[in-house]
Amino acid sequence: MPKKTLLSWSSGKDSAWTLYQLQQDDDIELVGLVTTVNETHQRVAMHAVRVELLKQQAQAAGLPLHTINIPHPCTNEIYNQAMNNFFDSIKGKGITHMAFGDLYLEDIRQYRIDNLKPTGLEPLFPLWLKATKQLAQAMLAGGLKTRITCVDPKQIPMSFCGREFDQQFLDDLPEGVDPCGENGEFHSFAYAGPMFKHEIKITSGEVVERDGFVFADLILEVSPEGTSA
């Protein structure tokens, strides 16, 4: 029997590439994307992507979207309660696994494992310990298109925010910065690639600094008829 699997979805490139890996696995039956959303601003937590763009990703992936609202700021206790409420809501639906796009941070991996233990769901880490330099190149070669939505200016210059994740971006990264941003150097929004049925048309909005991070607003491009392009 296929593993009925939910995917923890950040809206970024690692989630998108994880989705692509799972789509190619005959043992996996993907049943939905799960995303935490800042309930005040209605944006993906940390990535600051608009919920309307998040919905476009789910539509392009052909999967149901489960959003979990969390306050801002959010304590670990409130976060864990929100997640537990979600897990309670999916009991009895035959879901057996949950996948994550983590790459090599052991403490985060263990945190995921520990949080899933009471739910009975088994964790999956399709990208775990893949060399990030080679992984970034594989993403580009595979046709993944991604825009940078958030940077930590303590780790990379704020001018990287809003840029395309491409070869020039990788070449310009300061020495010591992970090419996949696994240490929180940057976050992204995936808008096209082999995991999607169609490209999500986006345009860049303003770049703002908030809470010690720099965010680039992405906006769904609308056709003259008033529908999404």
202 pairs with which residues across the strands? 220
pLDDT at residue 183 above 50? yes
Q: Band of the pLDDT at 187, cuts 50, 70, 90?
A: very high
Per the model's pLDDT, the better-predicted residue between 215 and 228 turns out to be 215
pLDDT at residue 226 above 80? no
Encoded tokens for 177: 């910065």
If you average pLDDT over every residue of the chain, what do you get?
95
Average pLDDT over residues 10-25: 98
Q: Band of the pLDDT at 223, cuts 50, 70, 90?
A: low
Per-domain residue ranges of the chain? 3-220
- Residues 210, 162 contacting (CB under 8 angstroms): no
Residue 40: its pLDDT value, please? 86
Percent of residues, the chain, with pLDDT higher than 70? 97
Average pLDDT over residues 109-130: 96
Q: Band of the pLDDT at 224, cuts 50, 70, 90?
A: very low
Average pLDDT over residues 139-167: 98
Encoded tokens for 196: 């999607």
pLDDT at residue 229 above 60? no
**Strand 186-192 versus strand 145-151 pairing type:** antiparallel
pLDDT at residue 150 above 50? yes
Give, for 53, the enclosing helix (H) or strand (E). helix 51-61
What does pTM read for this prediction? 0.94
From CA 67, how far away is CA 85, in angstroms rounded?
A: 12
For the chain, counts of helices (H) and of strands (E): 6, 10
CA distances from 148 to 84, 102, 141, 160 (A): 30, 18, 18, 7
CATH class for the domain made up of 3-220:
alpha beta
Burial of 140 (0-12, 13-18, 19+ CB in 10 A): middle
Residue 160: its pLDDT value, please? 98
Average pLDDT over residues 209-223: 91
Query: How would you write 94-158 as a 3-class SS string?
Result: CCCEEECCCCCCHHHHHHHHHHHHHHCCEEECCCCCCCHHHHHHHHHHCCCEEEEEEECCCCCCH
Average pLDDT over residues 187-204: 97
Residue 228: its pLDDT value, please? 55
Residue 222: its pLDDT value, please? 73
> Amino acid letter at 185?
E
Average pLDDT over residues 25-45: 95
From CA 195, how far away is CA 217, in angstroms rounded?
A: 23
pLDDT at residue 227 above 70? no
Average pLDDT over residues 186-212: 96
**Strand 65-70 versus strand 28-38 pairing type:** parallel
